């Protein structure tokens, strides 16, 4: 569009504006203030390099990728550490000399290795209960984890009958159903944490369930004396 012999540009017409910039590319490259405003800067005669604004975006993206990778690495390390500590716990349980020693080792090892408040073994009072184990009333297992429940994770698992005086410090718990000896006497293995998020309902119970199965097998070594 021409007005009084001067050609003007329709700024709403991108193609016209682009043709104008291409036509005056040399002038654009020599205008340092404009290039800095656009986040660009000249490096060589025919090369436009990324300026501070563009570099900041690239750096931000790179840092985000680093954060994601670091989080994955920390998660993998935490899983590896948990498996290693669980392996050491199992070896200690296998060295137990009797039922009382088994309960003592479970409690001490989980407190030392996982920072828990307490770990207990409980058994319904349908026959003698080993020394050092908690005693539950008949039907107590179903009452705590539910008639069809195999495990209960979260604050709902915190109860005085399992943790006694420690219950005031326990904020969340993992409670696993057990079946002891050939007669399958109903019982529980419970772990108490001082952290509200230590055990949650959406958390997998595989690791603590594995420990509970080991407790069952080790306890089967000795008869329960009346």
Lowest mean pLDDT among 15-19, 31-35, 48-52, 115-119: 48-52
The confidence score (pLDDT) of residue 12 equals 61
Higher pLDDT, 26 or 145: 145
- Which residues on adjacent β-strands are paired with residue 213? none
- Sorting pLDDT into bands at 50, 70 and 90, what band is 210? very high
Higher pLDDT, 27 or 50: 27
Q: Are 11 and 17 in contact (CB under 8 A)?
A: yes
Q: Say how far apart CA 135 and CA 225 lie, in whole Å.
A: 15
Higher pLDDT, 56 or 189: 189
- For the chain, the straight-line distance linking the first and the last C-alpha, in angstroms and rounded, comes to 108
pTM: 0.66
Q: Give pLDDT tens digits for 102-145.
A: 999 999 999 999 999 999 999 999 899 999 999 999 999 999 99
The confidence score (pLDDT) of residue 75 equals 66
Look-up: residue for tokens 């994601």? Answer: 68
Q: What are the structural domains, with CATH classification, of the chain?
A: 14-50 (no CATH), 88-219 (3.30.450.40)
Q: Give pLDDT tens digits for 36-86.
A: 666 665 555 444 444 566 666 666 776 777 777 777 776 666 666 677 788
CB neighbours of 6 closer than 8 A, spacing ≥ 6? none
Q: Say how far apart CA 4 and CA 24 lie, in whole Å.
A: 21
Q: Are 201 and 149 in contact (CB under 8 A)?
A: no
What would the mean pLDDT of 212-217 be, rounded to a whole number?
Answer: 96
What would the mean pLDDT of 87-109 be, rounded to a whole number?
Answer: 95
Higher pLDDT, 178 or 63: 178
The confidence score (pLDDT) of residue 47 equals 46
Q: Is 132 exposed, middle or buried (0-12, 13-18, 19+ CB in 10 A)?
A: middle
The confidence score (pLDDT) of residue 86 equals 85
DSSP structural state of residue 222: S
């Amino acid at each position: 569009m021409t007005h009084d012999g001067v050609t003007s540009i329709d700024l709403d017409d991108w193609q016209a504006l682009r043709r104008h910039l291409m036509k005056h590319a040399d002038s654009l490259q020599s205008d340092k203030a404009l290039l800095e405003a656009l986040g660009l800067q000249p490096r060589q005669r025919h090369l436009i390099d990324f300026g501070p604004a563009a570099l900041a975006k690239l750096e931000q993206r790179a840092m985000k990728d680093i954060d994601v990778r670091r989080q994955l690495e920390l998660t993998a390390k935490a899983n590896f550490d948990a498996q290693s500590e669980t392996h050491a716990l199992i070896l200690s349980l296998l060295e137990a000399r009797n039922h009382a020693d088994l309960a003592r080792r479970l409690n001490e090892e989980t407190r030392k290795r996982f920072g828990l408040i307490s770990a207990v073994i409980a058994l319904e009072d349908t026959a003698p209960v080993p020394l050092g184990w908690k005693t539950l009333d008949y039907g107590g297992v179903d009452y705590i984890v539910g008639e069809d429940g195999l495990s209960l994770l979260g604050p709902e698992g915190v109860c005085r009958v399992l943790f006694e005086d420690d219950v005031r410090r326990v904020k969340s718990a993992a409670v696993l159903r057990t079946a002891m000896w050939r007669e399958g006497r109903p019982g529980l293995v419970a772990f108490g944490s001082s952290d509200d998020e230590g055990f949650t309902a959406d958390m997998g119970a595989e690791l603590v369930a594995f420990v509970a199965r080991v407790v069952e097998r080790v306890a089967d070594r000795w008869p329960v004396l009346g």
